[in-house]
Amino acid sequence: MDIEIIDFILTSAAFFCGLFSFWKLLFKKNALFEDIDNSNISIKDLPKISIIIPARNEEKSLPGLLNSLKKQTYKNFEIIVVNDNSSDNTGLVAQKYGARLINLENLPKDWLGKNWACWNGAIKADTGYFLFLDSDTILSKNAVKIIVLKHIKNSGAISIQPYHYMKKPYEQFSALFNAVLIGAMNSFSIFSRIIRPIGFFGPCIFCSSGDYFKSGGHEKAKNKVLEDLEIGRNFLRNNIKVNNYVGSGIISFRMYPGGFKSLLHGWSKGFGFGAKISNIFVIIMISLWITGFFTAFINIIRSSINANILYIVLSVILYILYVFLFYLILLKIGNFNFLVSFFYIFPAIFFCIIFVYSLAISFLIKKVVWKNRVISIKKRV
């Protein structure tokens, strides 16, 4: 058996690793966070909730979220903005929109900023349900109601990865990072009934206060860079169901509007540690899929050089399959351009470079700068 056919078989196997890793996202409607039947439930019967928003230097992003909360069809909630020692007008923006403001000045030893802010919001909340939202998220007008109804229907905790909305070309380089983040969570693979998810998506988490404090909440993850994964793991350890979704049509965000440098810092911040705590089987599946990105591309070049018509045709077919699988995944998670999928080799190379850099930060440099803070990640996962 010659080298071309062996490469074709291995690359095809890698393709199916990707297909199986995103199976539910592609083929199961319940992977997306969509509206549910509420005909038998009166909105008056739904509980009051506390919406907790940790915010550090978020005067530009916060108005978008607070405006979307003002437009909610379900209004039985309090809004708590926890101002994490901001140097801008974050606190004034929160007060302008009528949010309850908690100002934090000193960050205790062994705590990270977002974790401390979320914990303070939780212990000072006045309701039995918490909705933690990142300040850069935007909700559809029915989002809060649907989240509460989904919780009633499924019980346990809910986390949602927002739909990634982008405006500038450089933001498209987030493509493979978004896909890997969702695939590695193992909430959408064909094996998700056998292998539990590794945690929560961080931008949007809903749970009861009882489940939150039972699992330890942000206090138990106080020094974790990837606090969302740790909190989700603690829920699972306490036998609390974890329901992860993709938020297309319900909740969105624009991740790195501050320029290419912010995108680099953002994705390199914790990807190395994320790989460390992920399920090894899931990591192998995702890694093989990404390897197939390169081999599918290389096979076209090699078969063209060898002028083997059969292998050229097979290689082109396989490349097209990779393109469309990647495109269908991206279609579910953000407004990515089709050209990102067609020329996937470039975001794939970028991903590998940043992933190696993230590993260096996590295990060699052991510190990262985020929100104008130097975060030491020594002994932190």
- The closest of 318, 377, 367, 286 to 19, measured between CA atoms, is 286
Please indicate, yes or no, whether residues 48 and 160 belong to a single structural domain of this protein: yes
In angstroms, rounded to a whole number, what is the distance separating the alpha carbons of residues 82 and 120? 8
Structural domain harbouring 350? 3-23+280-376
- 340, two tokens: 């990102």
Structural domain count, the chain = 2
Please indicate, yes or no, whether residues 109 and 244 belong to a single structural domain of this protein: yes
Cβ count near 10 (within 10 Å) = 15
Of 193, 221, 255, the position where a domain reaches its end is 255
In angstroms, rounded to a whole number, what is the distance separating the alpha carbons of residues 282 and 279? 5
Whether 151 is in a domain gets the answer yes
Of 255, 288, 308, the position where a domain reaches its end is 255
- Predicted local distance difference test score (pLDDT) of residue 225: 81
Q: Please identify which residue in the block is written with the tokens 């350890």.
A: 237
Whether 272 is in a domain gets the answer no
Please indicate, yes or no, whether residues 362 and 291 belong to a single structural domain of this protein: yes
In DSSP terms, 204 is beta-bridged to 133
> Is the pTM here over 0.85, yes or no?
yes
Query: Is the pLDDT assigned to residue 157 strictly greater than 90?
Result: yes
Please indicate, yes or no, whether residues 126 and 153 belong to a single structural domain of this protein: yes
Please indicate, yes or no, whether residues 159 and 224 belong to a single structural domain of this protein: yes
Whether 35 is in a domain gets the answer yes
Of 240, 255, 270, the position where a domain reaches its end is 255
Q: Going by DSSP bridges, is the β-strand pair 77-84/49-55 parallel, antiparallel, or unpaired?
A: parallel
- Predicted local distance difference test score (pLDDT) of residue 81: 97
290, with CB counted inside 10 A (0-12, 13-18, 19+), is buried
Whether 167 is in a domain gets the answer yes
Please indicate, yes or no, whether residues 17 and 57 belong to a single structural domain of this protein: no
Q: Going by DSSP bridges, is the β-strand pair 251-253/163-164 parallel, antiparallel, or unpaired?
A: parallel
DSSP state of 22: T
Whether 270 is in a domain gets the answer no
Cβ count near 337 (within 10 Å) = 15
Whether 353 is in a domain gets the answer yes
| Mean confidence (pLDDT) of the chain | 89
Please indicate, yes or no, whether residues 183 and 292 belong to a single structural domain of this protein: no
Q: Could you tell me the pLDDT band of residue 46, with boundaries at 50, 70 and 90?
A: confident
Q: Quick one: average pLDDT of 247-260?
A: 91
Whether 150 is in a domain gets the answer yes
Please indicate, yes or no, whether residues 8 and 46 belong to a single structural domain of this protein: no
Whether residue 165 contacts residue 334, with contact meaning beta carbons closer than 8 Å, is answered with: yes
- At 157 the three-state DSSP class reads strand
Query: Of all residues in the chain, what percent carry a pLDDT higher than 70?
Result: 90
Query: Is the pLDDT assigned to residue 195 strictly greater than 70?
Result: yes
Q: Quick one: average pLDDT of 154-159?
A: 91
Query: Is the pLDDT assigned to residue 45 strictly greater than 80?
Result: no
167, with CB counted inside 10 A (0-12, 13-18, 19+), is exposed
Please indicate, yes or no, whether residues 206 and 314 belong to a single structural domain of this protein: no
- Predicted local distance difference test score (pLDDT) of residue 374: 55
- The closest of 212, 181, 211, 174 to 198, measured between CA atoms, is 181
Q: Quick one: average pLDDT of 279-292?
A: 92
Angle between helix 260-268 and helix 345-360 axes, rounded to 10 deg: 60
Please indicate, yes or no, whether residues 103 and 147 belong to a single structural domain of this protein: yes
Whether 265 is in a domain gets the answer no
CATH of the domain at 175: 3.90.550.10
Please indicate, yes or no, whether residues 64 and 115 belong to a single structural domain of this protein: yes
Q: Quick one: average pLDDT of 309-333?
A: 94
Please indicate, yes or no, whether residues 45 and 12 belong to a single structural domain of this protein: no
Query: Is the pLDDT assigned to residue 275 strictly greater than 70?
Result: no
